[in-house]
Amino acid sequence: MRFNSLQFAVFLPIVLVLWMVLRGRARQVFLLGASYTFYATWNAPFLLLLWFTTLLDYYCGLRIGATDRPSARKGWLATSLAGNLGILVYFKYGNFFLENVAFISNVDPTPFYLDLVIPLGISFYTFQSMSYVIDVYRREIAPCRDLLQYSLFVTFFPHLIAGPILRAGQFLPQLHREDPVRQEELLRGIELFLVGLFLKTAVADNLAVVVDRVFESPARYSAPTIALAAIMFFTQVYCDFNGYSTMARGLGWLFGFRLPRNFDYPLLRWNPLLFRKSWHVTMGNWFQDYVYRPLGGSAKSDLRFAFNLFITWTLLGLWHGASWHFVAWGVSNGIQLAVYLVVLRRKTWTLPDFTGKRFCGWLINFSLWIPGAIFFRAQTMGEAGVLLKRMFTGAGGFGMPWPWYALMGLLAAIHFASFRYYNEDLLERSGWPARVALVSGMALLIATLGATGRTFIYFQF
């Protein structure tokens, strides 16, 4: 069930009204059942995997909290990690592993392929559930002794499929709230959901039509067209994923939960570090806390520091998908960030301030996004190679009509204006006539410009 589907338009009001009528524990039981129903509409048998992950980490968390013996604590942590990562590797990376072994051994992998469907949202809810066990092991939170509340933490439907990735310390305390949802929370929830729906249906899905056409036949298009298509894809991914995250946050407000912000205007950041800190924030924080820091973090040695960044980003690239072009995307990001940060912490000079300094930094960042977008969007390394070669050699071919360039300029202006003036509280600050006009106008824009039928890009991860 997608947020941008008619099915969800029926599901949400029913769930929201019944949830408001109920009180106490009955409310939590109902919301958990609604979340399982939401997931089951995609593929009901995969609820078994969701239940397995939930029960495994709930029990491991209890056992870790019940003992002070280091060996026992490590054993239960290892059990959780092995169970979660084992399932994730089997479903998401099994065929990728077989293909690479077959390539090295020159054996046809076809007879050994696993006939698998990757469970929807498995990378998100697995990482979220693992983070709980790790935090209990580190004694950063107490183990949750209420299976209902822990299950709701893992399964709460707004963030279940594609994040934001929650931490137990963020979500579980909110389950103790008893006061009703306030008017300003409902207004903010409606506003965020409509903004996210607009980003997804009116912007991302319309750009996808052009992007798909260029990337499906790169040999036909000119270098400027490929570059513009890469920029369009980057914008598409941003609006698609930020749209989902914004809708999820809006749904959270409707039910009285505050979900973390996942994007903080990354397209306007002027250096690699700020960009990566503001893009998919909850995933970046997850890898920082559970991969980068355990590796040694900001080690004194520049070589070790760069190595830690490189490994973290390589794994983050692999998290996005079982393909070498995702690995290449992660590696390129890791190299860029490592070079930037090593130079930054070792330099003994400072660039003088001048008008346009941040714009120059943004322009350098922008020039690195384009090849990164190509690695991310291409289906194979060979396809990425064709696209990059044609773009950097100035190849000729079909051009892009000028209105598309104008549209991208208009979107950039709107995005900058949003950064300067929009605080996600227009409905809250407006009177009722203005609220009606704003909601009606946004609904009309979505109905007029919105494309339908496309799933969210990050559902595949």
DSSP code per residue over 125-161: HHHHHHHHHHHHHTTSSPPP--HHHHHHHHH-HHHHT
In degrees to the nearest 10, what's the CA dihedral of 182, 184, 186, 191?
-170
Same domain, 80 and 192: no
Q: Is residue 300 part of a domain?
A: no
What is the structure's pLDDT at 26? 94
Same domain, 174 and 237: no
Active site (annotated) includes residue 280: no
What is the structure's pLDDT at 231? 94
Specify the DSSP class assigned to residue 175.
Answer: G
The percent helix, strand, coil of the chain (3-state, each to 5) is 75, 0, 25
pLDDT, average across residues 336-342: 90
pLDDT, average across residues 204-231: 91
Q: Is residue 175 part of a domain?
A: yes
Question: Reduced to 3 states, what is the DSSP secondary structure of residue 242?
Answer: helix
Q: Is residue 331 part of a domain?
A: no
pLDDT, average across residues 382-408: 88
Same domain, 85 and 112: yes
Mean pLDDT check: name the lowest of 36-40, 73-77, 193-197, 268-272.
268-272
Transcribe 442-456 into DSSP letters: HHHHHHHH---SPPP
Q: How far apart are CA 269 and CA 365, in angstroms?
A: 8
Q: How far apart are CA 450 and CA 442, in angstroms?
A: 11
What is the structure's pLDDT at 283? 94
User: 157-206 pLDDT, tens per residue?
Assistant: 999 988 899 999 999 999 998 888 999 999 999 999 999 999 999 999 99
pLDDT, average across residues 125-150: 96
Last residue of a domain, one of 129, 162, 180: 180
pLDDT, average across residues 396-407: 88
Transcribe 45-87 into DSSP letters: GGHHHHHHHHHHHHHHHHHHHT---HHHHHHHHHHHHHHHHHH
The proportion of the chain whose per-residue pLDDT surpasses 90, expressed as a percent, equals 58
pLDDT-based confidence at 322, cuts 50/70/90?
confident
pLDDT for residue 461 is more than 70? no
What is the structure's pLDDT at 103? 73
Which residues have C-beta within 8 Å of that of residue 272, sequence separation ≥ 6?
A: 336, 337, 340, 365, 368
Tokens 């696209």, located at residue: 387
Is the CB of residue 282 less than 8 Å from the CB of residue 252? no
pLDDT, average across residues 209-231: 90
What is the structure's pLDDT at 203? 93
Q: Is residue 358 part of a domain?
A: no
Same domain, 164 and 188: no
Residue 103 belongs to what domain range? 6-180
Candidate list 159, 176, 280, 320, residue with the active-site label: 320
Q: How far apart are CA 65 and CA 341, in angstroms?
A: 38
pLDDT for residue 453 is more than 90? no
pLDDT for residue 291 is more than 90? yes
pLDDT for residue 356 is more than 90? no
Is the CB of residue 249 less than 8 Å from the CB of residue 259? yes
pLDDT-based confidence at 75, cuts 50/70/90?
very high
Q: Is residue 293 part of a domain?
A: no
Is the CB of residue 148 less than 8 Å from the CB of residue 186? no
Same domain, 107 and 155: yes
Is the CB of residue 76 less than 8 Å from the CB of residue 64? yes
What is the structure's pLDDT at 365? 87
Last residue of a domain, one of 148, 180, 212: 180
Q: Is residue 26 part of a domain?
A: yes
pLDDT, average across residues 26-33: 95
Question: Reduced to 3 states, what is the DSSP secondary structure of residue 221?
Answer: strand
Number of domains the chain is built from: 2
Same domain, 135 and 70: yes
Last residue of a domain, one of 180, 196, 231: 180
User: 91-120 pLDDT, tens per residue?
Assistant: 988 888 887 877 777 777 676 677 778 888
pLDDT, average across residues 305-329: 90
What is the structure's pLDDT at 252? 96
Q: Is residue 353 part of a domain?
A: no
What is the overall mean pLDDT for the chain?
A: 90
Q: Is residue 245 part of a domain?
A: yes
What is the structure's pLDDT at 266? 93
Q: How far apart are CA 277 and CA 287, in angstroms?
A: 12
